[in-house]
Structure 1
Amino acid sequence: MNNLVSQKSGFSLIASNFEEAMKIAKMLADSKLVPTQYQGHPEDILIACSWGESLGLKPLPALNAIAVVNGRPQLFGDALKALIMKHGTIEEHWDNENGIWTMIAHRKGYPDVTWSYGYNDAIAAGHVSYNPQSNTFGLGARKSDAWAKYTKRMCQLKCRNFVIRDAFPDVIQGIDIEGSDDDVMEPTPEVQTEAVTEVPAIEVQKATEAELMEQMSNVTDVSETIEVTV
């Protein structure tokens, strides 16, 4: 009886060495099926796939989940939620009356982590401005259209950002996550001031002495104006 050997066939983009990885990266860079920012940039694909590997993502999901924002790789979208769901859950609650998101991260073996973020926090951080007369939000000091148009959604992302950082730091491996690109305020431009012309010190001194001499010439003899009682 012949021995039948069952062989499992499949297709994978996992490389066994750097040369293979670079070859795959160049092939993907020539494809129209990868995000535009990766087309023609095999070196970026290689780095994104390396980030994905450290996060537990395969190459193609990594390219769809990792984008470069302000020159730094950032993890966003459903991939982030999928990674978190492997290790725990996040309970989200919206307080419509006070305009606040509250989120509690539950993770087995770890204490719960709670974060809240709402409209007042967004205003204080300069993400949006608020007009009490019309009860509307506008551009804040950071000049972000997304915050002005989708304030509730952006508050949700910011709150989720904070709770994930505190509860799942080992999962995200230090990579930026959605909503973290505006954590750092842009540097405030230097204030331009006009030069002030100061009066030379020697001229001030002369004017003061002239005034004193004029005052002294009008003073009556001190000995004649003071009575001494014995």
Structure 2
Amino acid sequence: MNQITANTTNVAQIKPQARQDLFSLAPQNLQEAMHFAELIANSGMVPKDFRNNPGNVLVAVQMGAELGLPPTQALQNIAVINNRPSLWGDAVLAVCKGSPLCEYVRERWDDQTKTATCIAKRRGDDEEVIRTFSFEDAKRAGLLGKQGPWSQYPQRMAAMRARSWAVRDAFPDLLRGIAVREEQIDAVEKDVTPAKPAKQQDRTSQLLAKIAPEPEANQAETDLQNILTAINSSVELSELDEIVNAAANLPDDLKEQARQAYGIKKKELKNN
């Protein structure tokens, strides 16, 4: 018994030291943060929103720190949608479940009514926060059948929408107002700037057209973002394998991003 106790004590003494020796990329001051942002921005292993853009890297790392995410997790889980930083759905769940304020978050699917339900319970509160999102809701919002994840994985997307509503209402202090990517990507940005007089508007359009014609939409980039959304939303290896097959038609540089995301998600699912 004494020998077992002694061995246990030694292990307990070793563990903190091992943790202290772990390498960390977390910057300690502004100078380190700026240097870190430049190194990351020049890396080919970060999402396109951060490549050659140390400013975006710095903002994402700071935002991640406020949410409790280490720098590398922040860069992988924060996406810029409609010029607004947004958090991936699985990271949203991780932030909430990782807090002692969260008692539980439960999700379920009703196949008869085609309705996703998310139940979030805040520790100390008497009532649960229950939010639902059905195929009928998606149809009214013009989402059901929309090209991309809503066409390929409507059940999963409905579940992500119910989750977004539930956790944002239950844990606003944890999420601090950050948008959820799976919800933000479906938002339609509207220009509320007062319209210019017709003559001035026509002249402005002509001048701008001479300087730089309006670029065509990059469908490949859109397809990649849809595939990355589906990969990060996967809950089973079989589902993940089906999704990654959709990346076969992407250009090689974009295909590599999908492969990296696939590898990270596959390792995560195997560990779970």
Which of 26, 30, 54 is the matching residue for 1:42?
54
Q: Does 1:106 align with 2:118?
A: no
Residue 58 of structure 1 aligns with which residue?
A: 70
- Do 2:107 and 2:118's aligned partners in 1 also have CA atoms closer than 8 Å? yes
Q: Aligned-pair distance for 1:44?
A: 0.8
Unaligned stretches of 5+ residues in structure 1? 1-5, 129-137, 189-230
More helix by share: 2
Amino acid aligned to 1:155: A
* Deviations 1:160-216 (CA, angstroms, capped at 9, x unpaired): 11101101111111111132215644659xxxxxxxxxxxxxxxxxxxxxxxxxxxx
Alignment RMSD, CA only?
2.2
- Rate the CA distance shift 1:55–1:116 in 2: closer, same or farther, 3 A: same
Runs of 4+ in 1 over 4 A off after TM superposition: 185-188
TM-score by length of 2: 0.57
Q: Aligned-pair distance for 1:12?
A: 2.2
Residue 160 of structure 2 aligns with which residue?
A: 157
Residue 180 of structure 2 aligns with which residue?
A: 177
More strand by share: 1
Amino acid aligned to 1:123: K
Residue 17 of structure 1 aligns with which residue?
A: 29
Q: Counterparts in 2 of 1:1-230, with a 5 A limit?
A: 8-87=20-99, 88=102, 89-110=104-125, 111-128=127-144, 138-139=145-146, 144-182=147-185, 184-185=187-188
TM-score by length of 1: 0.67
Between 24-33 and 11-20, the greater mean CA deviation after superposition: 11-20
* Deviations 1:38-67 (CA, angstroms, capped at 9, x unpaired): 121111100000100100111111101111
Residue 227 of structure 1 aligns with which residue?
A: none
- Do 1:127 and 1:147's aligned partners in 2 also have CA atoms closer than 8 Å? yes
Residue 218 of structure 1 aligns with which residue?
A: none
* Deviations 1:115-157 (CA, angstroms, capped at 9, x unpaired): 11101111112212xxxxxxxxx34xxxx43322322111111
Q: How many residues align?
A: 170
